[in-house]
Amino acid sequence: MVSVLVNVEVKPERLDEFLDVMRKDAEGSRTEPGCLRFDVLQDQENPCKFVFYEVYKNAEAAAEHRDYPHFKLWTDFKVCATGEPASATCLLLPPGRPLHPLFFWQADGVVSSVSSKPKFTPWGFSDA
């Protein structure tokens, strides 16, 4: 199994567009044969911050994820004519590394506490 953790912060003026894009990406990703889990969590205190937690059967399935049309929606959103609408940090978690619910691993290996609890609905976003 391969786990991927992505931290994203979206510009407020692009939030509605991001929600639409990620709803389509999450729903599409969950239909991929190699995708075991695709969660999108929204920070309760800052509605522009998100965490994606993705789990794939193997490295090949994780790589194939990038070839699907729903993934292109996300990449097109990140790089658009008006500049960067979101900042994203992606971390590939090695097999067997525990992920404590109160902490996340940053790319440099430093553990930072999460200041708020994300709210999760079945498709991944807060209804509030």
User: What's the number of domains the chain is made of?
Assistant: 1
pLDDT score recorded for residue 90:
62
Determine phi and psi for 24, rounding to 5 degrees. Answer: -65, -40
In a domain? residue 127:
no
In a domain? residue 126:
no
Domain CATH for 70: 3.30.70.100
Find the domain containing 10 and state its range.
2-118
pLDDT score recorded for residue 78:
80
pLDDT score recorded for residue 83:
55
Determine phi and psi for 95, rounding to 5 degrees. Answer: -55, 135
In a domain? residue 125:
no
Mean pLDDT by 10 residues, the chain (128 residues): 85 90 94 93 89 89 93 84 55 56 38 38 41
Amino acid at 108: D
In a domain? residue 79:
yes
**Structure tokens given for 42:** 């929204």
In a domain? residue 8:
yes
In a domain? residue 124:
no
pLDDT score recorded for residue 73:
93
